[in-house]
Structure 1
Amino acid sequence: MVLNSEQVESARRLMLDWPSRPIDAIALDVLEEAAARLGKQHKSQHDTLDADSALQLAESLLADARDGERGFWLKLEYGQPALDSWRAESWFASPKKGKPGFRAGDFVFICAKDTKDCYAVVEVKGESEFQAPFYESWTESHDPEAFSRWPWTTSTIPRFVPNRLLELKLSELGVSGQALQNGHVRLRLDQFTAGVRALARLSTD
């Protein structure tokens, strides 16, 4: 839109009446920091999914995945698939070979070792912790040997946990069992994207 001289003057008078206050360099720095944080808050899945919400959640997840600041992983968990274990804040353990490379904001595909089903996506909350106090209490009652054999724990929040188990297998993500000797392996963005879209597609069937 192009304004003539009369409209320009009218617009200027309107803007002069808008609420305003003086700002300085410090205020601009604060504003810049706040803007940089936009869109980077932890997002988590709060509700069960229907076909539409599954597709929307998948696209939101993939938009975050393309921000260039995250790693992508596949984590193999012992036993059968356990969807309910990942619907709230949770954690997984890693072996004692050294601190795992998970970082806050990384996305992790959870797969079941027994069935090779890849069935949930979680987001890493923070740095992996060595022999955390909560983990010591947990292993005392569940698996005493795990505290020394799998001493690293990584906290997570849910990002895409379907309502039911879907037929997405480990091989479909292009990962072999041999690559998972440490229980986890990095994924490329294209592998992660294909896996998320497969979960979303299967959720609509």
Structure 2
Amino acid sequence: MHSYSTDVSRLKIISKIGTASFLASILLINFFDTIIQKIIMWIPYLDKTPYISSLAIFGCIFALFYFLFDKVLWNVTVKGISVSKTPDLTGEWKGYVVSKCEGKTTKTDVTVEIEQTWTSISITLKTTASRSRSAAASIFTSESQLVYYYFNVPRSTTVESMHKHYGVTTLNIIGNSKLEGEYFNCPDRGTYGDIFIEKVQKVH
């Protein structure tokens, strides 16, 4: 998986995670004050560094809360309201691609697997002839679009005219179960076309 950009600011959520971590660290320090003080006495010079134990506890709690939100909580919906405005595209998608090259049009069945967290994503498109994997991506909530840059590797059994290449795909996010858009790849291939896929199941 790789990181992806979005037009939804993540700073507000990060600040909320920071606030929750600060409050949790205060409660933890007060509740386990005796144990923490004993640990400080066991570690050389730690008792001579003011607030270092409090900062360490805050840092550990923040890292834990951030990890939980990034992997688990970011796509939770409470009473129909999503915790994050970023759409969750995780799952297996099936459909077809209509490709155009040198005046010829072909239709190919495709399977797309999308893995996603709050900050990372991986998009893999498979056909009988090749497999492509995303290298960079952006989600634009204002436009309801997923745009990604991919690298395609043909299978060993494909024709010699196919070779490794790069390309860009733009998909319109339609509801929760449909993606439609277009793609194009490097100039030496000159191939472009349309993509139509629907979600089959969510990948856990």
Same fold flag (TM > 0.5): no
Question: TM-score, normalised to structure 1's length?
Answer: 0.29
Tell me which protein shows more strand as a share of its residues: 2
Bigger RCO of structures 1 and 2 (CA < 8 A, at least 6 apart): 1
Tell me which protein shows more helix as a share of its residues: 1
